Structure 1
Amino acid sequence: MDFRTLRAFVEVVRQGGFSQAAKAVFATQSTISKAVKQLEEEIGAPLLDRIGHRSLLTPVGEVVYRRGVRLLADRDDLIAELDEIRGLKRGVLKLGLPPVGSATLFAPLFAVYRRRYPGIEVRLAEYGSDELEERLRAGEIDFAGALLPTSAEFEWQEVRHEPLVALVPVGNPLSVESRLTLADLRQTPLILFDSGFTLNRIILDATRRAGFEPDIVARSSQIDFMVQLVAAGLGVAFLPRLIAAQRPDPAVRQVLLDEPGTEWIMAMCWRRGAFLSEAAKAWLALVGESISRPDTSV
């Protein structure tokens, strides 16, 4: 059913005649007459009983008019809602972020995004990298914060590039070094993140390249707890330099990890070729701004 013919018919009823309806929709009377006739032919029954200069609704016309008014109202609401979404007055942004680094990198961006687009609802999911990638593949989230390298099925935009530091207990002979390699830590117990964290794979792949399997004494998803385990002398942990700098501890020394292939490169990823809503495009643009202009306070 053509909305134009339906609107012409509804206006004839509302305005009380064809000439009045033509003025209301800025059309000629013959255009309105043709539209109503086309609608009657499509439905297969007369909608108006024309008596002289008057037109009364037939029983079929009453049903079409009643439903038509609602359909046209819904159509107008739909157009208005789509205009709001296109204008970023409404919409939903679904983000998946890893626990490590998200507060530092993305909390300031959330604040800017919220100020710019207060009508956009942000739905946040926080998981390890493996779970985030699965949710991204399933289309449950628009973007995932992930460490590079990532799957070729995703497009990505780099957010931050940081070296790793080894968190070494003060008193350990290695704590006085300015740089460490993983070979230097061959005999040292390690404290790693829980399984599913890409940072774990980065460390374990590097230890294998160095020719040894590490002694893993603890795993956790809580950065502060891991720092305290190091402070207690349990072993050595690893964090991006940016994140470690925010968690100083007098019992822990932060030593640069001088190991190729262990850089912490955070990126914003999305499905290759996926549709990006206006809300999603606005977030990606903001991420790009944060790279070229790290101060996101404005």
Structure 2
Amino acid sequence: MNLRTLRAFVEVVRQGGFSQAAEVVSLTQSTVSKAVKTLEDELGTTLLNRLGHSNELTAAGEIAYRRALVLLAEQSALIDEINDLRGLKRGRLRIGLPPVGCGVLFAAMFATYRSRYPDIDIELTEYGSKKLRECLEAGEVDLAALLLPVDEGFDYQPVRNEPLIAVLPISHPLAQRTRVDFTDLADSPFILFEAGFALNAKILAACERKGVTPRVAARSGQIDFIVDLVTAGLGVAFLPRMLAHKHQHDGIALIPLDEPHTDWHIALAWRASAHLPPAALAWLELAKEQQLSTGHPI
């Protein structure tokens, strides 16, 4: 058993198939298939049930997948600790960011970081919160921007806390209100983010607490498109305040959402057991500096 074989197995599970995994690990599909078969032979049990074009973990596969994530994370930690000896003149910053809000929050920070540490390689990964958590657990990124609360086993540094704003077409009957809640909007179609975005879970949980079953008209991962759909009258959307104000125009109304426990509270998270490399620690320090210089979180 070797780490390359484990890596191939993990990617087959994560990517949903052998061909997709082969692209990620830069191997042929047959090589990935042989690696998984070798692992099954070494463990003496079937790890994946092949169901047509899909694969399902067996009970043994669940155990192997969980243990493989730990081993791969430890390999990454070993490499990073050795790289610590080189300091910030060499190294890499591996950071995962969600598509929602990362430009507004972090674009200027990237420029400052690059000017200070020109020889640090920046590896940016963009996914929704669920996939970012998996990347953290696997040691594929050192830091990830996640919505609070984070899962047990992660440490974090708060970044920004923004209330949600309801984005309504200007023709909506409630467009002149000073505040709205989900009961007020129960008859309006919702435009949500795509599956995997943690903000959706907050919205849907708040609706359930109010006894509201939202009618979802559309989903998208692009804020511009979501606002365009609202402008066209397809439904109402919900954005963190700073993003809503950035996209404000005459065709929409921005109304504060009067719902507890729906704030967009984002933080930089890392595995509690992880050894953070100097490049990641420098990023966290820069985030603190930005907060002190502006008087509020970045």
Normalised to the residue count of structure 1, the TM-score between the two structures is 0.70
SS in 2 for 1:283: helix
State the shift of 1:295 in Å: 8.2
Corresponding residue number in structure 2 for 1:85? 86
* Distance change >3 Å, CA 83–CA 213, structure 1 → 2: closer
Runs of 4+ in 1 over 4 A off after TM superposition: 81-84
CA shift digits 1:225-245 (9 cap, x unpaired): 000000010100010000111
Indicate conservation of the 8 Å contact 1:85/1:278, yes or no.
no
User: For residue 273 of structure 1, what is the amino acid of its counterpart?
Assistant: S
C-alpha displacement of 1:141? 0.2
Structure 1 contact 97–144 (Cα < 8 Å) conserved = yes
Offset from partner CA, 1:6-29 (integer Å, 9 cap, x none): xxxxxxxxxxxxxxxxxxxxxxxx
Letter in 2 for 1:117: Y
Partner of 1:41: none
Q: 1:104 to 1:184 in 2, by over 3 A?
A: same
Cα separation, 1, equivalents of 2:197 and 2:285: 27
Render the CA deviation track for 1:244-281: whole Å, top value 9, x for unaligned: 11111211111111110001101000001210111111
Cα distance, 1:84 vs structure 2: 7.2
Quote the Cα distance in structure 2 between the aligned partners of 1:127 and 1:104: 16
Q: Which amino acid aligns with 1:85?
A: R
Query: Partner of 2:153 in structure 1?
Result: 153
Per the alignment, in what secondary structure is the counterpart of residue 174 of structure 2?
Answer: helix
2: CA distance between counterparts of 1:278 and 1:154? 18
Q: Distance in 2 between matches of 1:278 and 1:110?
A: 16
Instruction: Give the 3 Å change call, closer, same or farther, for CA 83–130 of structure 1 in structure 2.
Output: closer
The percent identity for this pair of structures is 49
1:97 maps to: 97
Q: Which residue type is aligned with residue 189 of structure 2?
A: P
Aligned residue-pair number: 215
- Correspondence 1:119-134 to 2 at 5 A: 119-134=119-134
Aligned match of 1:201: 201
Query: Following the alignment from structure 2 to structure 1, what is the Cα–Cα distance between the partners of residues 186 and 239?
Result: 18
* Corresponding residue of 2:280: 280
Shift of 1:215: 0.4
Q: Is the 8 A contact 2:84 2:277 kept in 1?
A: no
Change (3 A) 1:95 1:83: closer
Alignment-mate amino acid for residue 141 of structure 1: V
Runs of at least 5 residues in structure 1 that lack an aligned partner in the other structure: 1-80
CA drift at 1:106: 0.6
Gaps of 5+ in 2: 1-81
Deviation at 1:156, TM superposition (A): 0.6
1:164 matched residue in structure 2: 164
Q: Distance in 2 between matches of 1:176 and 1:199?
A: 25
Q: Secondary structure at the match of 1:265?
A: strand
Q: Which amino acid in the other structure matches residue 204 of structure 1?
A: L
Would you say 1:184 and 2:181 are equivalent positions? no
Shift in CA distance, 260/179, structure 1 to aligned 2, threshold 3 Å? same
* Correspondence for 2:243: 243
Deviations 1:113-162 (A, max 9, x none): 11111110000000100000001100000011111111011101110111
Counterpart AA for 2:170: V
| CA–CA distance in structure 1, aligned partners of residues 208 and 130 of structure 2 | 21
**Would the aligned equivalents of 1:170 and 1:253 in 2 still touch at CA under 8 Å?**
yes
What do residues 33-80 of structure 1 show as CA deviations (whole Å, max 9, x unaligned)?
A: xxxxxxxxxxxxxxxxxxxxxxxxxxxxxxxxxxxxxxxxxxxxxxxx
RMSD between aligned residues = 1.6
Query: Which of these two proteins has the greater Rg computed from alpha carbons?
Result: 1
Q: Conserved in 1, the CA contact under 8 Å of 2:84 and 2:278?
A: no
- Residues 295 and 115 of structure 1, relative CA distance in 2, 3 Å threshold: farther
Shift in Å, 1:173 = 1.0
Please name the residue that 1:44 is paired with: none
Using the size of structure 2 for normalisation, the TM-score is: 0.70
Residue equivalent to 2:6: none
